[in-house]
Chain A
């Protein structure tokens, strides 16, 4: 199984802060990684795919980078609407897996 480990588990930034979330894979997944945003009671929303491609309609303050085993989601200037939980998802292998999530909560 490919384990996806996100860090940190929780973040408490302020509006306007630069936020960085890391996702590490237990084996190389090339760049077959996506990031999702989930708000309470809602379905996840695709933000980034193929490690660094921005999904249509997603604000440009979101960006992704990395390849192999280490990946980063960056929010350049946190907005009030960005307080949510973020998940990474690897789709390189037949058995796909998600990270455990990073909650970005209001300070």
Chain B
């Protein structure tokens, strides 16, 4: 059973860069596609995008200009960078694994980490 754990992030200042890492255990990061999803407090889920160790990535058009995802095979981790953050980026950020290819459901999730954007 693959398990995922997001790095703790906490507070990010407006206009700065949000950086999160998801550590994968119980499976090889090269075997699957990986995703980031976020959830503003009290609201629904928003898909941010996906990445693969091959370099293939795809992002939510509303965030595309600010988002970068990548995979670190040596540490079995994948990461999210979101630049020029504002208060609207305050959310719980989840990392997740796709069941098969990128066009598939998300069958394993991290517990989520709250990122607050505030000065």
Please report which residues of chain B, range 77-93, place their CB below 8 angstroms from some CB of chain A when the two chains form the complex.
none
Find the B residue at minimum CB distance from A46.
B107
Quick check: A44 and B109 within 8 Å, CB to CB?
yes
Q: Which A49-101 residues have C-beta < 8 A from chain B?
A: 49-50, 55, 87, 89, 91-92, 94-101
B105 touches A34 (CB 8 A): yes
Secondary structure at chain A's binding surface: helix, strand, loop or mixed?
Answer: loop
Interface residues on B, range: 20 to 34
Decide: A91 and B103 in contact? CB cutoff 8 A. Answer: yes
What secondary structure prevails in chain B residues at the interface with A? Answer: loop
- The reply to whether B44 and A98 form a contact with Cβ atoms under 8 Å apart is yes
Q: How many residues of A contact B (CB 8 A)?
A: 25
* Bound-state Cα–Cα, A46 to B96, Å: 11
Q: How far is the CB of A46 from chain B (nearest CB, A)?
A: 5
Q: Is the CB of A91 within 8 A of B61?
A: no
A-contact 0/1 string along B23-62, CB 8 Å cutoff = 0000000000000010000001111001000000010110
Can you sample 18 A-B contacts with CB below 8 Å? Answer: A1-B61, A32-B103, A43-B94, A46-B105, A46-B106, A55-B107, A89-B105, A91-B102, A91-B104, A94-B58, A95-B47, A96-B50, A97-B47, A98-B44, A98-B46, A99-B44, A101-B44, A101-B45
Q: Which chain A residues have a beta carbon within 8 Å of chain B's beta carbons? A: 1, 32, 34, 36, 38, 42-46, 49-50, 55, 87, 89, 91-92, 94-101
